Amino acid sequence: MTSDRPPSTPRSGHAVVLGAGVAGLLAARVLSESFDRVSVLDRDDLPGSADTALPADTALPVDTALPAGTALPAAGLGARRGVPQAGHLHALMDRGREILEDLHPGLVAQLVAAGAPTSEALVGGRWYLHGRRVGPVSTGLTSVLASRPLLERELRRRTAVLPGVRLLPRTAVIGLVGVGAGEAGGGVGTGAVTGVRIRSGAGDGASTVLAADLVVDASGRNSRSLDWLSAAGHPAPPTSRVTVDLGYASRVYQRRPEHLDGDLSVIISTTPGLRGGGAAAVEGDRWIVTLAGLLGEHPPTDHDGFCTFARRLPVPDIADLVRAATPLTDAVPYRFRESVRRHFEAVRSPPDGLVVIGDALCSFNPLYAQGMTVAAQQTLVLRDCLREGLGGLAGRFYRAVGGVLDVAWDMATSADLRYPAVVGRRTLRGRVTGSYAARAQRRAHRDPAVARTLLRVVHLAEPPTALLRPALAARVLAPGGAGGHARPAHHDQS
């Protein structure tokens, strides 16, 4: 299946994307179908997009996979400075993989050529819920175990060769430009957004205006668009917050074939405790090992503390791995305080010319690995809305994308809000959802049908209502405790 724009599709105008992360790069891919020119701005260097681009004779069209046997270097990928979590464990859900492959056919083959392993979820990896392993059931889901820097590098390479698209690194956006006020005041007026004010290079030069027919803000959780809009008199959207005080630490290890008996990943859920962790094989014969804790139960970064935290997880798999593997880096920390959703759909008249997507619109607890996949889903909604024209685009997009956000937001927050100390709005629906999900998780230990559907819901490949189908609900609600594929709890009090 290809996603090439039909030759008859007219293109005109200029779109500007703020941020060259996953959300921004996928937005640029979609925008290239509707605009003659697309400029992707990022304040950081963009390693691997131009200086390490493929040679001319292997720079293939966007819908073409690399020839069999073509090798890509896995070393020296680098990470953008603006992505402090880049060195930690990331997961691309199966629905996200499908969307990326639809927008960039051959991308998965390219990641594999660069050394990223793939496996079928639950078959090639281990998943522990409530301290017990979910059985190795076939799910039809493919896990692509690429590091975040590798994924972004290959997306940048593909984006950079799209007709009319240009990547502008080391470009800071310092304001929005709008009708009636932007040229003189550097801000946005009460009309449509018509561009951005930028400063290039070291940031000490004069600012310039970059005109645009559409600005897409994919600049992440620290987006300044809300501040700029508020300063110009636009109403702020209502905001939902769920405070989890998550801290995690990650370390890279050398991988050997015998580690984890040949499995490629292990996830130990925090449910029902506050501590968890994960390890995934990535390119370069390496493991990324991430330890995590909620509500202040944060893992240490010194060697002894990191190992001790791993030993105190409910099962010993990660502790065994870090004891057997050779560390290649020190542990690095990251902290995530709260999930945030901005309800732009509740704003009566959002300004035309500006669409906010990705983490700038809704950021999720990274324990649930939803961010990249939900960003990909948002870009498909944006593509559909663009086909109806630019008039009222922002309002149409926010209304249409609400269903996508509802699914992931409800899944993540209902799980987090089961902890009494987590701060956030609790509803009867959320309590019921959380209770049913916990029962489904326990049933998954002994029922392959429940395990398969549960994981397909987690991967956003099926809606949560799949777990409510009568035949499956009967399995979830059947009497009997969790059993099956369990490993004994491992409690090291040292």
Handedness of CA 87, 93, 97, 100 (dihedral sign): negative
Tell me the pLDDT tens digit for each residue of 196-254.
Answer: 999 987 666 788 999 999 999 999 999 999 999 988 888 899 999 999 999 999 999 99
pLDDT at 418: 87
Q: Which helix H or strand E contains 25, and what residues bound it?
A: helix 22-31
Q: For residue 319, what pLDDT band results from cuts at 50, 70 and 90?
A: very high
Rounded distance between C-alpha atoms, residue 46 and residue 168, angstroms: 9
pLDDT at 466: 93
pTM over 0.85: yes
Tell me the pLDDT tens digit for each residue of 100-132.
Answer: 999 999 999 999 999 999 988 888 899 999 889
- Report which of residues 186 and 9 the model is more confident about: 9
200: left (phi > 0), else alpha (psi -120 to 50), else beta? beta
pLDDT at 305: 97
Rounded distance between C-alpha atoms, residue 23 and residue 359, angstroms: 8
Lowest mean pLDDT among 8-22, 26-40, 77-91, 293-307: 77-91
Q: What is the DSSP code (8-state) at residue 248? A: E
Q: What average pLDDT does this structure show over 137-161?
A: 92
Are 92 and 98 in contact, with CB atoms under 8 Å apart?
A: no
Lowest mean pLDDT among 19-33, 85-99, 397-411: 85-99
Q: Which two tokens stand for residue 154?
A: 């290959």
pLDDT at 114: 93
Q: What's the maximum distance between 2 C-alpha atoms anywhere in the chain?
A: 70
Tell me the pLDDT tens digit for each residue of 349-383.
Answer: 898 999 999 999 999 999 888 999 999 999 999 99
First to last CA, the chain: 54
Tell me the pLDDT tens digit for each residue of 20-64.
Answer: 999 999 999 999 999 999 999 999 888 755 433 333 223 333 333
- Report which of residues 48 and 142 the model is more confident about: 142
Tell me the pLDDT tens digit for each residue of 440-483.
Answer: 989 999 999 999 999 999 999 999 999 999 999 999 998 874 44
The percent of residues above 90 in pLDDT, for the chain, comes to: 64
Beta strands 165-168 and 37-41, pairing class: parallel
- Report which of residues 181 and 282 the model is more confident about: 282
State the Rg of the chain over Cα: 23
Closest to 287 in 3D by CA, of 331, 310, 335, 321 = 321
pLDDT at 261: 95
Q: What is the DSSP code (8-state) at residue 423? A: B
CB-neighbour burial class of residue 68 (10 A; exposed 0-12, middle 13-18, buried 19+)? exposed
Q: How many CB atoms lie within 10 A of CB 452?
A: 23
Tell me the pLDDT tens digit for each residue of 153-201.
Answer: 999 999 999 999 999 999 999 999 984 344 333 444 447 899 999 998 7
On average, the pLDDT of the chain sits at: 85
